[in-house]
Amino acid sequence: MHTSSKALIFTLAIVVLNMFSCGLSESENSQERIVISAYGESFTLDRLSSRIPDIMSIEDSTLMAERIIEGWVREKVLIAEVKKNISEFNHDFEADVTAYRNALLVSHFESRYVASRLDGKVEENEIEAFHNEHSELFLLQEHVVRALYVQLPNEETQLDSARIWLQASDSLSIPKLEQWCIEHGAHFALDFDYWWFLSDLLDQIPMQIYRVEDQLRKRKVIEFTDDNRRYLLRMLEHQFKDRPSPIGIARERIIDLIIQERRRALLEDLRDELVKEAWAHGEIIRDSIPT
């Protein structure tokens, strides 16, 4: 190991011990104590200690301090090299830097402005209206179905009540069917508001598909067995591929789009108002363009 590296590690160990024992990061001395300098800039103990968690051991803190300082040095060396060779860059470099800085400032300001004013609550009637007006945005890539199913051992024979409740599929029958499933050790999906993509449903129940459109239209309980398991399936509603998605599937995306539009409108109104104020206060002066 080079002598300079040993000296750095020794210094870091002392720095970390000071952080642990003396609490220098909170004193005036810590704000002035310089750990390392490069190209006229200094990295203080206060800045270093603020980036190292108090819960770390002395050994881990020392290693982390070394990585932090090394990263700071590398950054300063690279920036110095860039400044030294700045003339070799494109003549628009400074303009690009200014444009980038301005964009960051504007983005930060707009984010804070929107965060303090944006209404994130979206009413159901807004969701329905947006869905109706922009249905072309929500075309389905595959068939979807609102369906309930029960899966249980093939040996189970007392199924009459389960069949009746599944066929009814209402607010009175579903709680009874759910309790029955729990008592009989059945696997079930009984959320009648949930929309399944057909491929996802078939991952759960191995139903044979031969005339998909006719099968999805069936509303009576479908019963079949596979691999010593019995399945009861009830289709409640469906929508075919290339048709507008049901609101239940598109809801989250619709909410996001509505909020994005609100954000856009907020910022557009802000910019318009700021420009009006600038004109009113004489901050903008425009000469006529010669013809």
> Residue 68 half-sphere exposure, CB side, CA atoms within 13 Å?
21
Instruction: Give the integer Cα–Cα distance in Å for 229 and 226.
Output: 5
What does 180-224 look like in DSSP terms, one character per residue? HHHHTT-EEE--TTPEEEHHHHHHHS----SSHHHHHH--SPEEE
Q: Measure CA 134 to chain center.
A: 24
Domain ranges, ordered by start, for the chain: 3-88, 124-130+246-280, 140-239
- Assess whether pLDDT exceeds 70 at residue 172: yes
- Of 3-7, 83-87, 148-152, which has the strongest mean pLDDT? 148-152
pLDDT at 177 over 70: yes
Please tell me the predicted confidence (pLDDT) of residue 83: 80
Average pLDDT score over residue span 193-219: 93
Residue 69 or 31, more confident:
69
Q: Helix, strand, or coil here: 229?
A: strand
75-127 confidence digits (pLDDT tens): 989 988 888 877 666 667 778 888 999 999 999 999 999 999 999 999 999 99
Chain centroid offset of residue 137 CA = 21
Share of the chain above pLDDT 90, in %: 59
- What are the angstrom distances between the C-alpha of 150 and each of 146, 153, 154, 188? 14, 10, 12, 4
Residue 184 has pLDDT above 70, yes or no: yes
